[in-house]
Amino acid sequence: MRGIKPTIGLALSELALLVRQRTMVALVLLLPAVLVFMAGVVEKPQTPEAWAAIAARNCVAILCITVYFISTSTLTARRQTLALKRFRTSGIPDAGLLIGLLSPAVVAGLVQSLIYFGGILAMGAPMPRQPGVLVVALVSGIVVATVAGTVTSAVTATPERAQFTMMPLLGVALGGAALITAVNDPLLGRIALVGPLVSNVDMIFKAWGGPQLGVQLPAGTWFAIGAGAVLIWLVIFSYAARRFFRWDARK
């Protein structure tokens, strides 16, 4: 309990720092606006299934480009400037420090998702059939992306190198999203589900009305499978973060 107030204070100060960066705020607002424009004006989906595919694919773009990137670059930059080491003398528990430092990534992801989903609904997308599943998939995806960013920062020496160390997860997540939503092959779809964040995409896709491939399963069954895959990746990334995360600057 003693670390809750300092953690909240750190989170608020990090959010204030983000808001003062006008370029970053503009980018946070620009990405969902561009995705909405591409969906409604360029792609022009005509069916609920097409809207579901676009919503799911673009949601993983937000998770990767915003949440994952900000998490990785923030922790890497703070480590390089020795800020992480100084924070540990503040009396805030390590978990509280990470929560506070990663709060801008979480808030940015939530804001972008709300703007994007509201935008495509205004463009004519149907309402999601299972909004509860959509919320679970989105929130759990943000959590997984932030923990994955924590792990990636451990192997990233400088913020400039983040664009390279992030590539493996980006490729797997974006490629898996494409397979889930655009390829009518049950085998490829099941293989793609193994990747990080891909199960979140699949849950968003189905929650918005996307069809199941292969054997048709009850809604509760495919949700349990997707949630289980998300939990497995969360456990893997959490263990890796505890094992490999560095507070001192890399030499």
pLDDT in tens, 177-228: 888 777 666 667 677 778 899 999 988 988 887 665 544 556 567 778 888 8
Per-residue three-class SS string for the chain? CCCHHHHHHHHHHHHHHHHHCHHHHHHHHHHHHHHHHHHHHHHCCCCHHHHHHHHHHHHHHHHHHHHHHHHHHHHHHHHHCCHHHHHCCCCCCHHHHHHHHHHHHHHHHHHHHHHHHHHHHHCCCCCCCCHHHHHHHHHHHHHHHHHHHHHHHHCCCCHHHHHHHCHHHHHHHHHHHHHHHHCCCHHHHHHHCCCCCHHHHHHHHHHCCCCCCCCCCCHHHHHHHHHHHHHHHHHHHHHHHHHHCCCCCCC
Arithmetic mean of pLDDT over the chain: 86
Instruction: Tell me what pLDDT residue 214 has.
Output: 45
Separation of alpha carbons 101 and 28, rounded Å: 17
Instruction: Tell me what pLDDT residue 20 has.
Output: 86
Average the pLDDT over each of 21-25, 96-100, 139-143, 236-240 and give the range with the smallest value: 21-25
Instruction: Tell me what pLDDT residue 187 has.
Output: 67
Average pLDDT of the segment spanning 125-147:
92
Tokens coding 52 = 């579901």
Separation of alpha carbons 228 and 226, rounded Å: 5
The answer to whether residue 153 is domain-embedded is yes
Q: How confident is the model at residue 18 (pLDDT cuts 50, 70, 90)?
A: confident
Average pLDDT of the segment spanning 95-107:
92
Q: Is the pTM of this model over 0.75?
A: yes
The answer to whether residue 149 is domain-embedded is yes
Distances from the Cα of 169 to the Cα of 149, 226, 234, angstroms: 10, 18, 14
The answer to whether residue 188 is domain-embedded is yes
Average pLDDT of the segment spanning 22-50:
85
Range of the domain at 10: 4-244
Instruction: Tell me what pLDDT residue 215 has.
Output: 45
The answer to whether residue 196 is domain-embedded is yes
The answer to whether residue 249 is domain-embedded is no
Q: How confident is the model at residue 101 (pLDDT cuts 50, 70, 90)?
A: very high
Average the pLDDT over each of 84-98, 141-155, 185-199 and give the range with the smallest value: 185-199
pLDDT at 85 over 90: no
The answer to whether residue 251 is domain-embedded is no
Instruction: Tell me what pLDDT residue 139 has.
Output: 95
Separation of alpha carbons 134 and 128, rounded Å: 8
Average pLDDT of the segment spanning 162-169:
90
In the chain, how many domains are there?
Answer: 1
Tokens coding 211 = 């069809």
Instruction: Tell me what pLDDT residue 185 has.
Output: 61
